[in-house]
Structure 1
Amino acid sequence: MHIRDTMEPWMKMSLMLCVFGFLKEFRPSEPFVTPFLTTFKNFTLEEVNQRVFPVETYSWLSLLVVVFLITDMVRYKPVIIVLALSGVATWSLFIWGTNIAAMQAAEFWFGMFLASEVAYFTYIYAQVEKEHYQAVTSHIRTAFLLGRFLSSSVCQALISSGLTSYSELNYLTLVAEIMLAIWAFLLPSVKHSLYFHRREDSSAVLENNVASAINNSSSDISSGQNSRPEGIRELFLMACTYLWQDFKQAFTNPLVVKWSMWWALGTCGYLQAIIYSQNLWEDIVDEIKEKTGETQELYNGAVEAIYTLVGAAAAFACGWLKLDWAVYGEPILALCSLLQGITLLVSSYASSLWLAYAMYITFVVFYQTMITIANSEVAKNINEDSYGLIFGVNTFFALLCQTILTFIVVGEHGLALSSRLQYEVYGGYFLAMGGLFLIMALYNVCCRRPLKTWIFDPLPAAQTSSVKS
């Protein structure tokens, strides 16, 4: 009975968050959003490519920093509710909107939906004790993948069987988003947060630093015009102190910088490739129809389901890898980036939809594998309470790079390239990333360790000494 009383609170919280994560990822209309916009809404592929989809990237970037700070200040739940309501707004506009402006508004709210996910991913660390982090994170990850897999499988089954159209899939997604909003209101409130509402056992050193900063910077307080410090200002200065301490501790570590750099650059390219993948597949289908007169059926949902399963298996397998990533990190990052670039270049020239699908699955699996390792390596080298901050910083830089890439390559005021030419650029982007990490690997081999030592004694020094002993 005592064990049950001890386990019930965190298990209940885990279950509630798993349900939320499942509903959040159950979006059966998403694999077919481009066919929906081009057939049922009668927009051209160029309009979707250049005027609709870029709004998501711009919105996501512009809202992320504000959402991150507000999330901690208001203690998560209000932002999680905003996330759910943003999903309702997004798919309501998709269903009942009739012009480009309405679709752009839908993409804006979807950017809010994505930016607000930081509240969901950090909410758990404020609600569950540290000894349960690993178990609950595993539960949430499983629910997250299950929701995405079932969503993709259901939409493909409904489309292939002719039971629903692309348009009707949006109603299923809207129902899931409404359920998500209801569930968001049922989540318990949070009493503490990482920066603005620390627990009572916060560092006394930091508190003294903040108090000193307040006394030095506030002439009104020191002159006695106010009888006590301003609560909001004191809270803000303390939060900034905590943020700066965690940021400095993380990004003065070369290993964190290295893995965060790949995290940001890799995520930028990954997001760009998956957002515009459906446009490329539409181009391939249209070209096949022009050449042969045949209309090829799309299997976007099946592809999403397959890569979700394979990506999950690859991410799980990473837990069994026993490598010294400080030594082998750069070569593996270089190799995977080069292979990702090749898959995107092959996709850009593909005349077969099946080849494009295969390259897409391969590309995503490479990303899911390496981002899992990057997450793990970063987490090993930072304060566990600062993971949300580092996640937000890396995501911000990824979106900043993606916004620049979108404006130059996709936007109507930039080059406005076709889908195939875009994928050539994205392929070159990953090849350049691979070259960068290859140079870093060669530098580590040739400059940090003599080449002769590397050839005849390839093991790290610690391993070599243990072998000799």
Structure 2
Amino acid sequence: MLTDKRSERPAHSMETWMRISLILCIFGFLKEFRPSEPYITPYLIENKNFTNDQVNREIYPIGTYSYLSLLVVVFLVTDLLRYKPVIIILGLSGVMTWCLLIWGENIPAMQAVEFGYGIFMATEVAYFTYIYAQVDQEHYQKVTSNTRTAFLLGRFLSGVVSQILVSSSAMSYYELNFITLASESVATIWAFFLPPVKHSLYFHRGESSLAGVDNEAATVHSSVGPPDMLSRESPKSNGMLHILLKAYKYLWQDFKHAFSNWYVVKWSIWWALATCGFLQCITYIQNLWQDIRTEIEENTGEEQQLYYAAVEAAYTLIGAATALACGWLKLDWRILGEAALALCSILQGIALLISSFSSSLILAYCLYIIFGVLYHTMITIANSEVAKYIKEDSYGLIFGVNTFFALVLQTILTTIVVEESGLALNPRTQYRVYGGYFLIIGVVFLAMAVYTICCACIRQPKATLVVR
């Protein structure tokens, strides 16, 4: 793995880093414990009296636009403010979102909910990167596993509790929101117990990395501004400008190093394309299920029991298991990677297409689980492969860049497919478009896979595809 000298972090004893990890894990669990989320669409339709069309076209798209508009700013502010304040904002945005969801009554209020949810999603970058600024590199694998497990455990138990409460009629969709609000409130209070971060990756580096920084800043300054400006201003006379120039230099170096590697670019392209489609599908899946449910009830006259939360719980558990299993696969992803991406994308496209024609909720649930598990399996491999060929500690930047491009694509897709100004397709037709989208991704990567494998066979006819 390529390495790059980074800012010094304070040395932590095992007890210290474990304590920090535990505090963050508890926050992550509480943040993800949102029992009302699997039933948001039925809640908006049955409790708030909005139509499925209003939810689909006027409410949900705001979340996509909010997430996109805030992501870059939040990434930079997270580093500038050194993580903890942004984690607190993450908790507060969750509290605001569910307060509005409970007591808001009209379309503008629900659009404000989606804006708050966009803040909630964008500020998650602080949760996922805080720990790397606090512990030594030797603990990265352990703390990553811990925080990810807490995150998934919160989602899994949230789905289980939600389904039990709904199926037993112990609580309504409306009442579930109060459990979520309480969980987000406790998470926000808990965030204050996180130790402050003294260093960050781009704006606040360790003292050892500040040696020679004046010269580095001067180099950047001369490349982005008039030469005479540098002669009139010194870094010490303009502290904030000096910090910004340093951050720009580090950001640009990491970005250039990563995306000058075609292998990283290739995996990042799939990462952005697949994440775009995945986010779009999970955003509107309840609208599709709602249409299927309505058709079944109209044809049979029988009210359908909903298992949205059980599906989310199963999907989270199976997705976590397959992502963990990926760590045991010993394949040469440089040769087989494109083929795997192509196969999974084609299977995802087929699953979405079948869902769009389905008249069975159970079948639609199963296909959604398959779709999500395939995504999490391959995104885990994509994350790992990209991380191997980028500078140490620049993963947060590359994750942010890829997510940004995914959101740009999702915004375009939302505008074309969902909005009234575009095609304004109904949920079933939307999912036929999404299915075709994944099939196109699959075909493109299949062509790339054929080329890569043929080149490998020509260069090394006896090469094995299994890593020795």
What TM-score, normalized to structure 1? 0.93
Distance in 1, matches of 2:83 and 2:183, equals: 21
2:432 corresponds, among 424, 429, 436, to 424
Deviations 1:70-123 (A, max 9, x none): 111111111111111100110000000000000000000000000000111111
**Structure-1 residue corresponding to 2:188:** 181
For the 8 Å contact 2:221–2:230, the answer to whether it is kept is: no
Partner AA of 1:285 in structure 2: R
Structure 1 CA distance for aligned equivalents of residues 184 and 233 of structure 2: 51
User: Which letter maps to 2:52?
Assistant: L
1:296 aligns with 2:304: yes
**Residue aligning to 1:28:** 35
- Displacement of 1:211 in angstroms is 2.5
1:350 and 1:227, CA in 2 relative to 1: closer, same or farther beyond 3 A?
closer
Given candidates 431, 434, 447, the residue that maps to 1:439 is: 447
Does the CA contact (< 8 Å) of 1:29 and 1:170 recur in 2? Answer: yes
Alpha carbons of 1:88 and 1:325: their partners in 2 closer, same or farther (altered >3 Å)?
same
| Aligned equivalents of 1:18, 1:425: Cα separation in 2 | 38
Partners in 1 of 2:392 and 2:360 — Cα distance? Answer: 46
Structure 1 position 199, deviation (Å): 1.1
Shift in CA distance, 203/324, structure 1 to aligned 2, threshold 3 Å: farther
Q: Give 1:369 shift.
A: 0.4
What pairs up with 1:94-109 in 2 under 5 angstroms?
A: 94-109=101-116
Unaligned runs of 5+ in 1: none
Q: Distance in 1 between matches of 2:154 and 2:359?
A: 32
Q: Deviations over 1:283-330 (max 9, x none)?
A: 011000111111111000000111111111101110100000001001
Greater Cα offset, 207-216 or 254-263: 207-216
Identity %: 63
Separation in 1, partners of 2:368, 2:401: 27
Q: Are 1:198 and 2:230 counterparts? A: no
Q: Counterparts of 1:144-159 in structure 2 under 5 Å?
A: 144-159=151-166
Specify the SS of the correspondent of 2:328.
coil
Whether contact under 8 Å (1:32, 1:301) holds in the other structure is yes
The residue that corresponds to 1:53 in the other structure is 60
Q: 2:334 aligns with which of 326, 329, 334?
A: 326
Give the C-alpha shift of residue 205 in structure 1: 6.5
Cα distance in structure 2, aligned partners of 1:252 and 1:212: 22
Deviations 1:408-440 (A, max 9, x none): 101122111111001000000000000110111
In the TM superposition, what is the alpha-carbon distance from 1:7 to its structure 2 partner? Answer: 1.2
Q: CA deviation at 1:53?
A: 0.4
Aligned-partner Cα distance in 2 for 1:414–1:347: 23
- Evaluate the alpha carbon distance shift between residue 447 and residue 193 of structure 1 in structure 2; reply closer, same or farther with a 3 A threshold: same
CA distance in 1, matches of 2:316, 2:330: 24
CA contact (8 A) 1:21 1:143 kept: yes
Match of 2:359 in 1: 351
Check if 1:393 corresponds to 2:398: no
Q: CA–CA distance in 1 between the matches of 2:273 and 2:448?
A: 15
Per the alignment, residue 417 of structure 2 pairs with 409
Amino acid in structure 2 at the alignment position of 1:359: L
Which residue of 125, 128, 148 maps to 1:121?
128
- Asked if 1 retains the 8 angstrom alpha-carbon contact of 2:457 and 2:463, the reply is no
Q: Normalization by structure 2: what TM-score?
A: 0.94
1-structure distance, mates of 2:157, 2:457 = 50
1:72 pairs, out of 79, 104, 115, with 79
Report the aligned-residue RMSD.
1.9
Which position in structure 1 is the counterpart of 2:464?
459
Corresponding residue of 1:378: 386
Query: How many residue pairs end up in the alignment?
Result: 456
Can you list the C-alpha shifts for 1:196-240, whole angstroms capped at 9, x where unaligned?
001123275765332233367466765557794310001100000
For residue 293 of structure 1, what is the amino acid of its counterpart? G
Q: In structure 2, what is the Cα distance between the partners aligned to 1:401 and 1:213?
A: 32
Closer, same or farther: CA 207–335 of 1 in aligned 2, 3 Å:
farther
Deviations 1:45-80 (A, max 9, x none): 000000000000000000001111111111111111
